[in-house]
Amino acid sequence: MAASDRHLVLTFAVVCYRFFLRAFPRAFRARLGKEVSTAFEQGCLRSLELNGFSGLLGYAGRGYLDVVREGLAERRATRGAGPKRSLWSNRAPMDLLFLDLRVSVRTLRRKPVFTGVALLILALGIGSTTAIFSVVNGVLLKPFPYPDAAKLVVLWNTNPERGQDEFRMAAPDFFELQRSTSSFSSMALAAGATSSLPGDDLPPIQVEGSLVSADFFEVLGIDPLMGRTFRAEENQGDHRVVILSYAFWAGRFGGDPEIIGRRIEMDGILVEVVGVMPRMSIPIGGSGLDLPGPDALLFWRPLDFSLDWVSEIGAHVMAVIARVESEVSIFQAREEVTAVAAGLVEEGRAPAGEGILVRSFKDHVVGDVRQNLLVLLAAAGLLLLMACGNVANLLLARAKEREREVSVRSALGAGRGRLVKQILTETILLSVGGGLLGLGLAGWGSGALVQLLPSDLPRQSEIGVDGAVLFFTMATAVLTSFLAILIPTVRLTGRSALRGLKEGGRGETPGRGRNRANRTIVVGQIALATVLLFGAGLLFRSLQSLGTVDPGFRREGVLTAQLMLPDSRYGERGEVLSFYDQLKDRVRGLPGVSSVAFGMNHPMENSWWNGIALLDRPDPDPEQYPTAIFRPVSDGYFSTMGIPILEGRTFESGDRFESHPVMVVNQEFVDRHFQGESPLGERVEFVVGRFIWGEEAPTVFEVVGVAGDVRFNGLRDPSEPAFHIPLHQFPYQAVKLMVQGSGDLQSLAGLVRAEIWALDPDLPVTEVRTMDQVFSGAVAQDRFNVILLEVFALTALVLAAAGIYGVLSYTVSQRKAELGIRMALGAPAGSVLGMVVWDALTMGGWGFLLGITSAMFLGRFLRSLLFQVPILDVLVLAGVCSVLAAVAVGSGLLPAFRAARTNLMVALRPE
Amino acid sequence: MTRPSPPKGTPRNPRDFLPLKPDVFLILTILADGDRHGYGIMQAADSWGGGGMEIQAGALYRRLKWMMDEGLIQEVSSDPMTGPAGDRRRTYRVTSFGRLVALEESRRMGELLAAAREADLLPGTEGA
């Protein structure tokens, strides 16, 4: 935060505090008030320095609650202690404030409908804004629970020339960085890992975890709750030790206080528990560097540096996390790392164009959702503005009713300041009431929001109502009351008493100019509703066009599940392959199953990139070796997933470990690496299998087929070049089972599970999902945006409709006499009806124009969330326009009918 | 807080104040270590053993006022250091009566603690 921003926020916090300090009796404030607010200011400053902006918000929120609570308690304690003051003596400002409060409460209670509606509108506006803010606060603002978390960075490889934004690093590059940089005080490696625990009395489970270098926890700055972290020597050789997450320890081992030193079975081998981590979010290797919540079952084991796959130059499977030296900026660290990366390319140890990215840890975790959440917060803010408009309109209507009263009071000598204060007190009371209701609504709403949130939204466990949210709500309530009161106050107090008394009397027919203020507010509201509708419309269209993207595979009728065969029982490739073959036969025999396949990943799942060599092509630049996504799959994979074979053949059951090595590439691979020429018969070298299954593993594969492209990274990203090899020629132990079946897939899932456990009762079966669910997960964030924005837009429409209705009803009731005379003189009912409806349409039209202009300007903030939808989408524009017209006409009809039924005698009678 | 203070000159029994509210006891303990101004007390409380204890300004000054009224602490000359707004800050000192009250409270708590130890509620210590 910039120094000026800090100063501004701090000043605002202290000004609010001084306001709340008025809860203390006057004598107390005179004696100690200044010191109290000084101490609060210093506390704020310290919180800001220690825990940043959100720390300050939390501290201030608690401070406000404290000062109001203590002030009121002090007031109670000292009541009756001092001399009684006469009712007519000079009143202290605080007593006047309490007088105002009493009068306001009485006035509000006398008008229950007005009070109820105003409270409801405020609660809706403040509640929805607070609910979204609680998400923004939890995900974006709260600091990470690690000391000096701002110094944590994550390092990635990048190769923009090949369209690879960021991918994992290889261990040798990490060691080079560790040797030749000085910007980092510590750095660590983490690779993803999963492990299965056998079921003794509990069902077998699969646990996510990470293989890490010894200083992983030192980089994060976390001390274990019990036991120790890893030692450097444990990164050399097979050390069977493990550190557990708090939830793992508490959930699976019942919080055993004697856990340290105990041996537990993981993947069929016994490993010794050496540490338990405290209950907090701690990253694991995962698919990049994931941050599961504090209640995830996780483990960490030391990474064995002496393994071949770790020291392989092209194996980009490592996440790198580092802590920047305290006096070095991330920018400086980035410069140093860039220089090292250039050196690696120069020495031929990395392909041309490959660089290393340094991203802050926070940016890595929440960077992708920041824009999204801020757009939603802005939308909620617009809704709050609309609520302000409605309340302002209500207050205006009340103000008009009270003009006479106010005029009498000011004629009797009440100063303008007193009048303003009275109205202000009323509004603040309403806002605080609305704020409290809104807070309740937000507490409930943020719970509902969490249910609705896409499951991959980071840091969900942090979402909730805390001091920062409290501060936000209070500040919002205060701001709302100021905004809502602006126009009514100016209007009420800026007039002479004489005019008010005159107007309050009889005989005047108000013209259109008289409620210009109301109309202006309504036009503003329609403009805001237009912006929200427009945004919701664009996001909806974007979701629609995402739905039309061909993912390249079959969505319906496919069930997938994750299997992981532990090394202890499936160490030999023969054991692995025979398990797959047996399971395939059993599952294929189930009723309704038409085909079964295995693959390291299902089609909508990211997997690793690997270097390859095209043996029949002239060598490119020696540094320019090609890379592609690598996917071992069984025979039947392409037909099960409905991926078309465009050329050549698919894998067959005859493609075994010892038979001729074959490969099927995708169309993108052909376009990228074979310039679109037919690749059949070409030989491709891929050596990773040798590191896992030894010398006899195949390394040179012949391309026998070309498959259609699949969107591996979600629907928004284009296809990437990929090659498939038969699972029999790369017998990987962690696979996805894919079953194509008809009928109810959920009951099929039960049958499949039973077949797996019939073969191996200790094998965990996880991530059982239909491909349809996987596909829905890929658009969950987009759907969340649309649902939320649609709810906002709908609420905005209701508020706008209420605004139009209110203004027209008021106008019609004020013009009763004029309308009655018109009709008595022969104006047809239709023309009176048309006049009022036209009035509604005019307001709608101006609001639409104003709104659409602002929406065009604001549209660019939405652009990154949109998929293949232009900002100026004609369909959306037409839709918004017709919805608004319908709402304007609809909310104008009722007052219009009332106008058309005006009877001259009835209209003139009250006069 | 509504306890009426006795007329001047009446001898008072420190035991009348027991049990002390935890934050009052903490403030007495902090001041027994040396004179401090208000924010200094907040800071000391914050870094107090066992994870610290946040005392907010409103609560702190209300206690300080009560403690002054009851004669447990007194205000000494203004701190030569100035606050952020350039104003001089008051410094507080525990009175001998306040010290006596704190002593009695400590004794009371010591007895409680001994009872807890007796009942084996303090792991890592031997029963008395």
What's the 3-state SS for A634-651? Answer: CCCHHHHCCCCEEEECCC
* Mutant choice from A17, A21, A38 vs B, greatest count of B C-beta within 10 A: A38
Quickly count: other Cβ atoms within 10 Å of residue B124's Cβ. Answer: 4
Instruction: Decide if B89 touches A, using CB distance below 8 A.
Output: yes
Query: SS3 sequence, chain B?
Result: CCCCCCCCCCCCCHHHHCCCCHHHHHHHHHHHCCCEEHHHHHHHHHCCCCCCCCCCHHHHHHHHHHHHHCCCEEEEEEEEEECCCCCEEEEEEECHHHHHHHHHHHHHHHHHHHHHHHCCCCCCCCCC
Confidence of residue A514 (pLDDT cuts 50, 70, 90): low
Confidence of residue A85 (pLDDT cuts 50, 70, 90): very low
Give the residue from chain B lying closest to A76, CA to CA.
B2
Task: Tell which residue, A737, A549, A553, has the closest CA to residue A644.
Answer: A553
Long-range contacts of A19-22 (CB under 8 A, 24+ apart): A20/A64, A20/A67, A20/A68, A20/A71, A21/A67, A21/A71, A21/B58, A22/A71, A22/A94, A22/A97
Confidence of residue A314 (pLDDT cuts 50, 70, 90): low
Cβ-defined contact of B56 to A41 (cutoff 8 Å): no
pLDDT (mean) for A863-880: 84
* Pair A903, A815: CB distance under 8 Å: no
Give B-chain residues touching A40 at CB under 8 angstroms.
56-58
Q: What is the pLDDT of residue A431?
A: 82
Three-state DSSP class for residue A553: coil
Cβ-defined contact of B56 to A74 (cutoff 8 Å): no
Nearest 5°: the CA angle A293, A294, A299 is: 95
pTM: 0.65
pLDDT (mean) for A725-737: 89
Quickly count: other Cβ atoms within 10 Å of residue A218's Cβ. Answer: 17
Distance from B31 to chain A by nearest Cα, in Å? 17
* Pair A535, A789: CB distance under 8 Å: yes
Burial (CB count within 10 angstroms: exposed 0-12, middle 13-18, buried 19+), residue A553: buried
Nearest 5°: the CA angle A167, A351, A210 is: 30
Q: What is the pLDDT of residue A499?
A: 55
Give B-chain residues touching A37 at CB under 8 angstroms.
57
Over 90: is that where the pLDDT of A162 sits?
Answer: no
Give A-chain residues touching B58 at CB under 8 angstroms.
21, 24, 36, 40, 63, 66-71
* Pair A638, A650: CB distance under 8 Å: yes
Q: Residue A905's Cα: distance from chain center in Å? A: 61
Over 90: is that where the pLDDT of A313 sits?
Answer: no
Quickly count: other Cβ atoms within 10 Å of residue A634's Cβ. Answer: 24
H/E run at residue A832: helix A829-862
* Pair A51, A43: CB distance under 8 Å: no
How many angstroms separate the CA atoms of A695 and A31, rounded? 87
Instruction: Decide if B54 touches A, using CB distance below 8 A.
Output: yes
Instruction: Decide if B5 touches A, using CB distance below 8 A.
Output: no
Over 80: is that where the pLDDT of B80 sits?
Answer: no
Q: What is the pLDDT of residue A233?
A: 92
Distance from A294 to chain B by nearest Cα, in Å? 21
C-alpha to C-alpha distances, B68 to A34, A748, B4, nearest whole angstrom: 17, 77, 13
State ipTM: 0.83
* Pair A625, A313: CB distance under 8 Å: no
Burial (CB count within 10 angstroms: exposed 0-12, middle 13-18, buried 19+), residue A85: exposed
What is the per-residue pLDDT across A98-130, written as a single tens digit (0 to 9) for each? 777 777 788 788 878 778 888 888 888 888 888
Task: Tell which residue, A540, A545, A536, A546, has the closest CA to residue A791.
Answer: A536
* Pair A77, A11: CB distance under 8 Å: no
Q: Which of B1, B57, B90 is closest, CB to CB, to A40?
A: B57
What is the per-residue pLDDT across A390-433, written as a single tens digit (0 to 9) for each? 888 777 777 666 666 777 777 776 666 666 677 777 777 888 88
Confidence of residue A86 (pLDDT cuts 50, 70, 90): very low
How many angstroms separate the CA atoms of A786 and A542, rounded? 9
Strands A319-324 and A152-159: antiparallel
Distance from A36 to chain B by nearest Cα, in Å? 5
The rounded radius of gyration (Å) of the Cα atoms in chain A is 35
Instruction: Decide if B115 touches A, using CB distance below 8 A.
Output: no
Q: What is the pLDDT of residue A740?
A: 93
Cβ-defined contact of B89 to A35 (cutoff 8 Å): yes
Three-state DSSP class for residue A860: helix
Give the residue from chain B lying closest to A23, CA to CA.
B58
Which two structure tokens, joined as six digits, stand for A557?
A: 């009728």
The rounded radius of gyration (Å) of the Cα atoms in chain B is 17
Out of A165-179, A337-351, A541-555, B79-93, pick the least confident.
B79-93
Give A-chain residues touching B1 at CB under 8 angstroms.
73-74, 77
Task: Tell which residue, A223, A228, A253, A258, has the closest CA to residue A242.
Answer: A228
How many angstroms separate the CA atoms of A374 and A518, rounded? 31
How many angstroms separate the CA atoms of A723 and A720, rounded? 10
Query: SS3 sequence, A332-370?
Result: HHHHHHHHHHHHHHHCCCCCCCCEEEEEEHHHHHHHHHH
The maximal CA–CA distance of chain B, rounded, in angstroms, is: 54
Q: What is the pLDDT of residue A493?
A: 57
List the beta bridge partners of residue A199: none
Q: What is the pLDDT of residue A90?
A: 45
How many angstroms separate the CA atoms of A267 and A195, rounded? 6
Three-state DSSP class for residue A280: coil
* Pair A312, A691: CB distance under 8 Å: yes
* Mutant choice from B36, B60, B90 vs A, greatest count of A C-beta within 10 A: B60
Instruction: Decide if B4 touches A, using CB distance below 8 A.
Output: no
Burial (CB count within 10 angstroms: exposed 0-12, middle 13-18, buried 19+), residue A338: middle
Cβ-defined contact of B64 to A21 (cutoff 8 Å): no
Out of A681-690, A707-716, B10-19, pick the least confident.
B10-19
- Sorted by sequence, the CB contacts under 8 Å of residue A315 that are 6+ apart come out as A170, A171, A309, A610, A688
Question: Helix crossing, A829-862 with A816-824: angle to 10°?
Answer: 130
Encode A792-812: b = buried (16+ Cβ within 10 Å), e = exposed.
bbebbbbbbbbbbbbbbbbbb
Cβ-defined contact of B84 to A42 (cutoff 8 Å): yes
Cβ-defined contact of B83 to A24 (cutoff 8 Å): no
Out of A746-750, A826-830, B14-18, pick the least confident.
A826-830
pLDDT (mean) for A441-465: 80
* Pair A579, A662: CB distance under 8 Å: no
* Mutant choice from A22, A31, A40, A68 vs B, greatest count of B C-beta within 10 A: A40
Give A-chain residues touching B92 at CB under 8 angstroms.
none
Cβ-defined contact of A70 to B87 (cutoff 8 Å): no
Give B-chain residues touching A28 at CB under 8 angstroms.
62, 65
Over 60: is that where the pLDDT of A508 sits?
Answer: no
- Sorted by sequence, the CB contacts under 8 Å of residue A691 that are 6+ apart come out as A308, A309, A312
Backbone angles phi, psi at A164, to 5 degrees: -105, 105
DSSP line for A396-456: HHHHHHHHHHHHHHHHTT--HHHHHHHHHHHHHHHHHHHHHHHHHHHHHHHHHHHHHS-TT
C-alpha to C-alpha distances, A406 to A233, A418, A562, A591, nearest whole angstrom: 84, 11, 74, 82
C-alpha to C-alpha distances, A665 to A43, A337, A401, A630, A737, nearest whole angstrom: 63, 35, 78, 10, 21
Q: Which of B1, B60, B62 is closest, CB to CB, to A39?
A: B60
Which two structure tokens, joined as six digits, stand for A238?
A: 């097979």
Which two structure tokens, joined as six digits, stand for A231?
A: 């030692």
Over 60: is that where the pLDDT of B125 sits?
Answer: no
Q: What is the pLDDT of residue B2?
A: 44
Q: How far apart are the first and last CA of chain A?
A: 63
